[in-house]
Amino acid sequence: MKDLSAVSNKWFFIPKKNKQANLRLFCFPFGGGGASFYRSWSEYLPPNIELYSVQLPGRENRLKEEPFTRLMPLVTTLSGVIEPYLDIPFVFFGHSMGSWISFELTRHLLRQSKPGPAHLFVSGRRAPQLQDPDPPKHNLPESELIKELRRYNGTPELVLQEPELLDIFMPIIRADLAVLETYKYIEELPIECPITAFGGLEDRKTGYEKLIAWRENTIGGFRLKMFPGDHFYLKETQGQLLGEMIKDLKSYL
């Protein structure tokens, strides 16, 4: 197996290295988000689960790197980067944009006859086969895009009101929106690993019907759990969310 450790260090934030772990949890970020969002999750996990938070180009410690604007080139790159770390059983979690990244990465790994995740957790993103009724946003004028970001309640108001911070943040969010809005779902056989979908009860864009449609993409079992809150419900419910995930992971541990 090709040694990509020198390349991969910047791709993962690992709060607690654990050589005794028998399961790895890879967490993929939402649009505009970075690996630090999942930093505290390791405090809620059993000691035999090792957390790998994925850091994409263009944010936090990789701010000077060009962000991806298309999903499949990102997935292909991630496939090579993540391969050395698939030596023990693993699972994927993705919120919003991270849901589609983790789903397509799963399909890509399986097409390449590489190990796939034992479980896929998706959150706050409609099933990929569903069409988006809204027009693209990644090329909106800045003032209109800021209004859209406020609707999602995920971007700190300090960032939206500070021109210097906006200059840094806007290219990242436009790139991530382009990743989502140019993505074309290709129908394939359903994957075999189970899928658990999560969402916020007050998320106006990704409700129950758009989440339950994820069940069409697996023959390995499906579960849907909704939490109080909006699109970023997981900020307030991370303990409960991780409790639900651990419930699904007991058989692997």
- Tens digit of pLDDT for each residue in 29-58? 999 899 999 999 998 899 899 999 999 999
pLDDT of residue 144: 77
| Type of residue at 88 | I
Predicted confidence band of residue 153 (pLDDT cuts 50, 70, 90): low
Report pLDDT for 49.
Answer: 95
* Res. 62: pLDDT tops 70: yes
List the chain domain ranges.
5-131+185-249
- Digit-coded pLDDT (tens) for 89-145: 999 999 999 999 999 999 999 999 999 999 999 999 999 999 987 766 776 777 777
Q: What is the pLDDT of residues 77-103, one digit of tens each?
A: 999 999 999 999 999 999 999 999 999
**pLDDT tens digits along 182-216:** 999 999 999 999 999 999 999 988 999 999 999 99
Give 9's pLDDT tier (boundaries 50, 70, 90): confident
Lowest-confidence region among 20-24, 168-172, 232-236:
168-172
Confidence of residue 154 (pLDDT cuts 50, 70, 90): low
What does pTM read for this prediction? 0.90
**Residues tagged active-site:** 96
pLDDT of 164 higher than 80: no
**Does the domain at residues 5-131+185-249 carry the CATH identifier 2.40.128.20?**
no
Per-residue pLDDT, 139: 66
In the prediction, which pLDDT does 81 show?
95
| 6 pLDDT above the threshold of 60 | no
* Res. 157: pLDDT tops 80: no
Task: Tell me whether residue 230 is exposed, middle or buried, using C-beta atoms within 10 angstroms of its C-beta: 0 to 12, 13 to 18, 19 or more.
Answer: buried
